């Protein structure tokens, strides 16, 4: 069982971010895990008809099946190691398990027109 499977299983069982689950996420992902938890707490995980987006401090990042368009995922992570996730992908997983995804019944392209 990977470290990601471990905290995800614990989170799914708890249904909320308990201190134990938070510790497991931080042990597995360090600062990336902390940033992900912060994003979930601040309701910055948005789901549109076509994409899930995590709102960062400087931009919005599209996450699909643990793939993210951020620089961290592009340049720093090993694609062959499923335990290596950027904080945006971790935030999507956490938000999904605790029912904290902000759902929007519109296409993300429509939102981008306003930005």
Q: How many CB atoms lie within 10 A of CB 89?
A: 27
- Token pair 């614990």 is found at 10
Q: List the domain range (segments joined by +) for residue 64.
A: 3-114
What domain count does the chain have? 1
Q: What is the pLDDT of residues 2-31, one digit of tens each?
A: 767 889 999 999 999 999 999 999 999 999
> Rounded to 5 degrees, what angle do the CA atoms 34, 106, 91 make?
10
CB-count exposure of residue 82 (10 Å: 0-12, 13-18, 19+): exposed
The model's pLDDT over 29-72, given as tens digits with 9 standing for 90+, comes to 999 999 999 999 999 999 999 989 999 988 999 999 889 999 99
């Amino acid at each position: 069982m990977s470290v990601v499977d471990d905290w995800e299983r614990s989170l799914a069982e708890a249904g909320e971010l308990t201190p134990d689950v938070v510790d497991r996420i931080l042990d597995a992902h360090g600062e990336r895990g902390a940033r992900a938890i912060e994003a979930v707490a601040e309701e910055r995980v948005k789901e549109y008809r076509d994409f899930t987006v995590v709102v960062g401090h400087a931009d919005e990042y599209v996450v699909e099946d643990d793939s993210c368009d951020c620089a961290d995922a592009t340049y720093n992570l090993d694609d062959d190691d499923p335990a290596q996730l950027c904080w945006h992908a971790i935030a999507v997983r956490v938000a999904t398990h605790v029912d904290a995804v902000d759902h929007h019944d519109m296409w993300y392209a429509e939102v981008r027109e306003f930005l």
